[in-house]
Structure 1
Amino acid sequence: MPKDVKKRGGPKYVNRRNKAKYLQKKENKKKLSKSQVPIIKYNWDETKTPRENIQDMGIAFDPNEVVKMDSGRKEIIDAVPIEGEDNLEPVKPEKKVTRRPKNQKQADYIVQRLEEEAKEANDKIAGQNRKFRLFHRETELCVYMLARHGDDFQAMTRDPKNLWQYTPKQWAKKIRTYQDSEMCKFIDSV
C-alpha cells in the first residue's frame, strides 16, 4: 500500500479554553480596580498598579505591613556565643520600606473624606432602633406562657405546650423580645 503524503508542521488548532481563561483573568483585573467608593473611583489612575494607586491615596494596601503584630512565636534556639566569636547575633531580614504618597495633600484629603463617610454610616446605623419580631405562633405562645407561669422560665420548659423544647434561657430571650416588640405594647393597650 502506498504511504500518505507527509504533512509538514504541527496541528493547526487554537486552544480556545486557555484563551477564554486569559480573557476572563484580564476582565477580573479590570473589575478589581473599580471601587464602589466614589472618591477612590474618582482618583483612580489606570496607568498605575492597584498598590501604587492605593498608596498614593494614603490608604494601606496591606494592613499587615502597616500595623505590625508581635507573633506569639519565640526563637527556639537562643543565640549562644561560640568560643572564638564574641558577637553572635541572629540575622534579621531587612524591613520593607513603604513608599510615601506623591501628593500628600491629596492623600490627606482622601483619607479625611473616607473617615467622614465611615462616621456618617456608623451614625446612621446607630440612629436606627433595631426591631425584633416574633412569629405569630411564638407571640401566642409567649402570651400563654406569661399568663400561665409569669416569669418562671423553668416552669415554661416543663409545660406541655413547649413543643419545641425551648430551654429556660431561650424562653427568657423570647419573652424579652416579645416584651420589647410593638405587638406586646399593642396587646397591653387593648
Structure 2
Amino acid sequence: MGKVRKKKNTFNYSVNRKKLKRRARKKDAPRIACDEIRKAWDDTKSVASNMAEMGLAVDPNKVLPIHADTSTSTGPKYVRKPYVIEDLKASASVPSKKTMGISSDMVLYVRHMVENYGEDYKAMARDDQNYYQDTPKQIQRKINLYRRHHPSEYEALLKSRTKQ
C-alpha cells in the first residue's frame, strides 16, 4: 500500500481577512424588519445607544418598573432622532388591511347553520352537516367569527331567516 499524502496548509495572501470578517459580521447581523428603525440605525453604535437616540426603550422593565415606589428613570434625556417615533406613530395609525381570512368551507357551513336554525346552537350541534361534531359553544364561536368579518352578510342571513 502506498502512503497517504496530506495537503500542506498554505496561506492565501490574496485574500483580505479583515474584509472577510467585516462581511461575515454584517451578514450575521440581525435583520431589522421595521423600515423606520432600519433607516435610522447606525451600525457603528450599540443597540442600547441606537435605541436611546431614537427615543425607544431597550428594556421595558427599566422604563416602566413594576414597583410604583421607584420613580427614578435611567437613560439619556436627549432624543437625537425624534422623527423615528413620529414615523412609527404615523405607520401605527394607518388601519391594517390584513385580516384573518375565513375558509370558504366555513363560510358555507355558517351560512347553512344560520339559514336553517337562526341562533339555536343546540339544534345546530345536532345537524347532519356538523361533520366535525362541534359543540354548541364551538359553533357559536365560528358564527361570531363570521359575524365579525362579514357583518352585513350575517344581518342579511338573519333577516332572510325571519321572513321565512
TM-score by length of 1: 0.49
RMSD of the alignment, in Å? 4.5
Helix, strand or coil at the partner of 2:138: helix
Structure 1 or 2, whichever has the larger Rg, is 1
The answer to whether the Cα contact below 8 Å between 1:153 and 1:168 also exists between their aligned partners in 2 is yes
Helix, strand or coil at the partner of 2:144: helix
Match of 1:27 among 7, 23, 28: 23
2:88 is aligned with 1:118 = yes
> Once the 2 structures are TM-superposed, how far is the Cα of residue 162 of structure 1 from its aligned partner?
0.3
> Once the 2 structures are TM-superposed, how far is the Cα of residue 67 of structure 1 from its aligned partner?
3.4
Q: Spell out, residue by residue over 1:59-106, the C-alpha distance to the aligned partner (whole angstroms, 9 max, x if none).
A: 5674268437569xxxxxxxxxxxxxxxxxxxxxxxxx96x58xx4xx
Which runs of 5 or more structure 1 residues have no equivalent in the other structure?
Answer: 1-10, 72-96
Distance in 1 (alpha carbons) for counterparts of 2:19 and 2:146: 55
Question: Which residue matches 2:127?
Answer: 159
In structure 2, what residue type is equivalent to 1:160?
D
> Once the 2 structures are TM-superposed, how far is the Cα of residue 38 of structure 1 from its aligned partner?
5.2
Which runs of 5 or more structure 2 residues have no equivalent in the other structure?
Answer: 1-6, 68-73
Structure-to-structure mapping, 1:71-150, within 5 angstroms:
100=76, 104=78, 108-110=79-81, 112-125=82-95, 128=96, 133-150=101-118
Question: Which residue matches 1:76?
Answer: none
Distance in 2 (alpha carbons) for counterparts of 1:38 and 1:165: 48
Q: Percent identity?
A: 18
Q: Aligned pairs, how many? A: 140
> Once the 2 structures are TM-superposed, how far is the Cα of residue 163 of structure 1 from its aligned partner?
0.1
